[in-house]
Amino acid sequence: MKSFKYGIIFSILIMLMTFWVRKVFFDTLGTELTGYYLLINQMLGFLNLAELGLGTASTYLLFKPLSDNDNVKLATTIQAIKKIYSIIQKVIFGFGILIAALLPFIVKSQIDIYHLYIPWLLFVSSTALSYSYSAESILLTADQKVYYIRIINGFGRVLCFLLQIIALKVSFGFITFSILEVVSVLLQLFVFKKLIKQNYSFLSNIDTGKLQGIQKKIFLEVKKTFIHKISGVLIFNTDYIIVSIFLGLAFVTSYSSYVMLLQAMSFLITTLSVPLNSALGHHLQEKGNDATVIKFMQINSIFMCISSILAFCYYIASSGLIFHWLGKTVVLPQLTVVLLAINCFCLIARTSVDIFKVAYGYMSDTHLPILEGGLNLLFSLILVQFLGINGVIIGTIISNICVIMIARPYYLFNKAFKKNNSEFIIHHGSVWFLSALNVFILYLIFIKYMNFMDAIQKSSFGEFIINCTILGILSSFIGGLIFIIGSNDFRTFIKQQLLIRL
């Protein structure tokens, strides 16, 4: 409950402050530097490949020693994780310097040499330093103390944002803005180290004889998760680079502003779902496979309902928000917004499968991430030549539907849950149908009958907020009602949660 409470508080606060920072940055430094700043953040995703998916693999490996109260094995595993992260930091620094040499070829704009290289190197330093407390975050996550992470990261980000806004307002510029990223990470590092020292004093009790064996076991798990990590980078990070190279930094600013709304919703949903990772890991250990499959179908129906509602709300409200936030010049055509709304649905709907894959430690479907990332990159590179920004988004939609929405749930059912194809088809067919029905009914009510699209786009900012609130409440009520009527799994989960609270 603490993780949920702090997660929602800091997620909303960070999300709002991120919009504020972007607005101040855009107004102060202009379209080109804003596009470059956003591009930097996406290119850091390539450096984060060096993490190899270690966080996901390591969290799974800590469930058993925590459950067995085996402090020696736990301490030894944490030490092994720290050693690996130390290597990762050096790799990130090295590749960061190499990428710096390629910046003139990636950035198709007239940015002076100081703003081209210094912010990049500072952000690289910040990213590398953040791995100094990754082992501590993994331990707290596995031990179901995610609220500590939320508080430390949350305060760190909020303080950083406030200082960055002040720096921009008093014209300290992009370089000072970037230095504050490093300062924020150093502050979080200090707090994490102090917290772990106070609460896990036994971590110095290491079995050195088993250290190398545990490192090998971690690397075996990492081999599986690394492929998934590559897929994530190919999907979520290459699009910005493709847009920058083929369309320019101005398009990066427009595209990223809409994607930022997607990521804000995804960040909020992920924050709320992170505590489920460790809780379901323990649930699996205690209850077994059949009970976990039932729980998956319940949670999957919840996320399909949420994703259909949020995708529709995104389609209705995103352009209006962009207009009030950054201005008319950043608004994208309506067809582009429809395509982004489809990606919004896929991005949120995938959450349930991701949660249970972590809980099971199931990362053996390594061919799927390769296929997913490859399809996205291939189709985006081809279609951008003919369809511009729409082609990049369609490339992502193709990979999302083929892999995320069909293949990955199938493999989880078939390989991890050991269930037959008919159960997969019945469950997924029903939630897909209900999601489509939900969007169709919302479309009839809000667009055909109420003409809500025009009302939102032509409203003042105050009216826009009121209209969005009405949209969110009514669409949630209607969507929830549709799933309550149509899905037994959804009804059962809601009943269980009500009984717990009563």
Token pair recorded at residue 373: 């990332």
Residue (of 10, 41, 55, 15) closest to 277 by Cα position: 55
pLDDT of residue 316: 94
Tell me which of 140 and 6 has the higher pLDDT.
140
> With bands split at pLDDT 50, 70 and 90, how would you rate the model's confidence at 226?
low
128-137, 226-235, 266-275, 462-471: least confidently modelled range: 226-235
The 10s digit of each residue's pLDDT in 293-321 is: 888 888 899 999 999 999 999 999 999 99
Is residue 21 situated within a structural domain? yes
66-80, 207-221, 272-286, 304-318: least confidently modelled range: 272-286
Is residue 112 situated within a structural domain? yes
pLDDT of residue 123: 96
Q: Determine the average pLDDT of the residues in 427-440.
A: 94
> With bands split at pLDDT 50, 70 and 90, how would you rate the model's confidence at 166?
very high
Taking 60 as the threshold, does the pLDDT of residue 474 lie above it? yes
Is residue 315 situated within a structural domain? no
Alpha-helical (H) ranges within 288-366 are 289-326, 334-349, 351-360
Close Cβ partners of 215 (under 8 Å, ≥ 6 residues apart): 80, 83, 84
pLDDT of residue 359: 65
Tell me which of 419 and 403 has the higher pLDDT.
403
Report CA 87 to chain centroid distance, whole Å.
Answer: 25
pLDDT of residue 234: 65
Which domain does 50 fall in, by range? Answer: 1-206
Q: Share the mean pLDDT of the chain.
A: 85
Is residue 307 situated within a structural domain? no
> Pseudo-torsion of CA 365, 371, 373, 378, nearest 10°?
180
Tell me which of 401 and 61 has the higher pLDDT.
401
Rounded Cα–Cα distance for residues 205 and 438 (Å): 55
Q: What type of residue sits at position 217?
A: K
pLDDT of residue 125: 95
How many folded domains does the chain comprise? Answer: 1
Taking 60 as the threshold, does the pLDDT of residue 1 lie above it? no
pLDDT of residue 479: 96
User: pTM to 2 decimals?
Assistant: 0.78
Taking 90 as the threshold, does the pLDDT of residue 31 lie above it? no
Rounded Cα–Cα distance for residues 491 and 479 (Å): 13
Is residue 326 situated within a structural domain? no
Is residue 169 situated within a structural domain? yes
Rounded Cα–Cα distance for residues 227 and 321 (Å): 36
pLDDT of residue 454: 81
Is residue 255 situated within a structural domain? no
Asked if 342 and 397 touch (Cβ cutoff 8 Å), the reply is: yes
The 10s digit of each residue's pLDDT in 323-374 is: 999 888 899 999 999 999 999 999 899 888 888 776 666 656 667 777 888 8
**In whole angstroms, how far apart are CA 234 and each of 42, 261, 363, 380, 457?**
11, 20, 18, 11, 34
Across 55-64, 413-422, 435-444, which has the greatest mean pLDDT? 435-444
The 10s digit of each residue's pLDDT in 181-221 is: 999 999 999 999 999 888 888 777 776 777 777 777 777 66
Is residue 134 situated within a structural domain? yes
Taking 90 as the threshold, does the pLDDT of residue 10 lie above it? no
